[in-house]
């Protein structure tokens, strides 16, 4: 980006006028993206969820871990037996214009008497953290690995790709489940020293999310590396790369300046289409009890807690389920829109 920035305010020596600016391929894509209404709706929804997740304390009357043992399994908009003492002591909205929200549960309460609404909002944090952190981790690892492999070519490429093939052939999910079970057992024993201890402390600090990141990163950088390598192979033979070599540019410069900017667009699009999958994977891991640690709320874990009583208390499954569905749908629309905007061949097709 820096050379473009540098040229931004160039002034013509002779006329003293500022130069006109060209439209980059990315700017063209952005214009195209804005015309896609569903994709824009997806972006707006994702932005809303991000804002709500960041400012979760403002949007929630209670803490996600606050129990009220007299008021468990309440239906939505009920819970009038919340005592004034309890509300005064625990409600974040007390003494604010929103004080009415302290006297009932917006989305009901779970079997432990925790406010489901508050847990839903805080659960968005987990899903979004997974969406952005895990996808960046797999994108960065995969992109660097694939770019080096594709650019180096020959034997290096062969060996690096066979490693990827080998990892692909290993069923990673069972291994991740075993690893997580092992880690959790260590954590229960209270190991806090050494390499494992560091990991466990990190994991505890992130409410159990750290292992989810590892799991998703380990599962998905392989595909990213293959995609990146394929892209690099197609660009490597282009004459502008030869031109850079004729100029005398070093390999690192060619990779950073000429290959990565061309490769990163398609990879970002592929990655954005994977995000719903990551959110689901986190929900899956949490559902089988290998995701976040209680009391950290995750939509998958909430569905797990509620599905036993789905007939008598459907709201316990329904609300996190709807939240999960809407968010993944929004990410899907956004990814589709990005793909259409960047892929000129798909433009104009409906």
Residue with Cβ nearer another protein (21 or 204): 21
Q: Shortest approach of another protein to residue 230 CB, angstroms?
A: 18
Q: Shortest approach of another protein to residue 231 CB, angstroms?
A: 13
Q: Shortest approach of another protein to residue 132 CB, angstroms?
A: 24
Q: Shortest approach of another protein to residue 148 CB, angstroms?
A: 19
Sort 98 into a burial class: Cβ within 10 Å, 0-12 / 13-18 / 19+. Answer: middle
> What kind and span of H or E run contains 297?
none
Q: Shortest approach of another protein to residue 159 CB, angstroms?
A: 15
Do residues 192 and 234 make contact, with C-beta atoms less than 8 angstroms apart?
A: no
Q: Shortest approach of another protein to residue 267 CB, angstroms?
A: 14
For 128, the token pair is: 């979004």
Residue with Cβ nearer another protein (111 or 261): 261
Q: What is the DSSP letter of 170?
A: S
Among all chains, which residue has been given the structure tokens 């609404």? 117
For 314, the token pair is: 């459907």
Residue with Cβ nearer another protein (184 or 257): 257
Q: Shortest approach of another protein to residue 15 CB, angstroms?
A: 8
For 25, the token pair is: 């391929």
Residue with Cβ nearer another protein (236 or 339): 236
What backbone torsions phi and psi does residue 126 show, to the nearest 5 degrees? -65, -50
What is the Cα–Cα distance from 82 to 92, expressed in whole angstroms?
Answer: 14
CA atoms lying within 13 Å on the CB side of residue 130: 35
Nearest to 284 by CA among 201, 219, 221: 219
Residue with Cβ nearer another protein (158 or 326): 158
Q: Shortest approach of another protein to residue 218 CB, angstroms?
A: 31
Residue with Cβ nearer another protein (112 or 264): 264
Residue with Cβ nearer another protein (121 or 270): 270
Helix (H, G, I), strand (E, B) or coil at 332: helix
What is the Cα–Cα distance from 302 to 211, expressed in whole angstroms?
Answer: 19
Residue with Cβ nearer another protein (2 or 312): 2
Which residues bind to another protein, rule: CB under 8 A? 3-4, 6-8, 10, 12-13, 17, 19-25, 238-240, 242-250, 253, 257-258, 261-262
Q: Helical H runs in the chain?
A: 2-7, 25-34, 37-54, 56-59, 84-90, 116-129, 135-152, 154-169, 172-189, 194-205, 209-236, 239-247, 251-253, 260-287, 299-306, 315-342
Q: Shortest approach of another protein to residue 242 CB, angstroms?
A: 6
Cα distances (angstroms) measured from residue 249 to each of 38, 254, 258, 318: 43, 6, 10, 58
Q: Shortest approach of another protein to residue 40 CB, angstroms?
A: 25
Residue with Cβ nearer another protein (5 or 350): 5
Do residues 337 and 33 make contact, with C-beta atoms less than 8 angstroms apart?
A: yes
Q: What is the DSSP letter of 13?
A: T
Residue with Cβ nearer another protein (26 or 185): 26
What is the Cα–Cα distance from 43 to 338, expressed in whole angstroms?
Answer: 10
């Amino acid at each position: 980006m820096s050379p473009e920035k540098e040229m931004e305010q160039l002034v013509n020596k002779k006329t003293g006028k500022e130069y006109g600016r060209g439209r980059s391929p990315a700017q063209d894509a952005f214009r195209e993206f804005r015309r896609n209404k569903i994709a824009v709706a997806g972006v707006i929804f994702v932005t809303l969820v991000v804002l709500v997740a960041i400012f979760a304390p403002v949007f929630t009357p209670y803490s996600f871990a606050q129990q009220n043992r007299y008021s468990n399994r309440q239906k939505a908009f009920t819970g009038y037996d919340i005592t004034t003492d309890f509300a005064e002591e625990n409600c974040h909205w007390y003494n604010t214009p929103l004080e009415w929200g302290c006297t009932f549960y917006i989305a009901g309460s779970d079997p432990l008497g925790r406010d489901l609404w508050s847990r839903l909002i805080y659960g968005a944090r987990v899903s979004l953290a997974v969406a952005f952190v895990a996808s960046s981790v797999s994108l960065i690892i995969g992109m660097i690995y694939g770019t080096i492999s594709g650019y180096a070519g020959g034997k290096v490429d062969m060996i690096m790709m066979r490693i990827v093939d080998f990892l692909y052939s290993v069923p990673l999910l069972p291994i991740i489940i075993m690893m997580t079970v092992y880690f959790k057992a260590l954590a229960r024993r209270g190991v806090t020293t050494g390499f494992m201890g560091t990991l466990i402390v990190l994991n505890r600090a992130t409410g159990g999310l750290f292992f989810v990141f590892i799991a998703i990163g380990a599962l998905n950088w392989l595909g990213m590396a293959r995609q990146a390598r394929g892209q690099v192979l197609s660009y490597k033979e282009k004459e502008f790369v030869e031109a850079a070599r004729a100029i005398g540019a070093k390999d690192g410069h060619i990779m950073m300046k000429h290959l990565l900017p061309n490769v990163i667009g398609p990879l970002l699009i592929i990655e954005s289409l994977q995000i719903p999958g990551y959110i689901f994977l986190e929900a899956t891991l949490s559902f089988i009890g290998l995701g976040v640690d209680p009391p950290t709320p995750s939509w998958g874990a909430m569905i797990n807690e509620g599905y036993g009583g789905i007939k008598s208390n459907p709201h316990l499954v329904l609300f996190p389920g709807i939240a999960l569905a809407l968010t993944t749908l929004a990410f899907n629309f956004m990814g589709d829109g990005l793909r259409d905007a960047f892929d000129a061949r798909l433009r104009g097709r409906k």
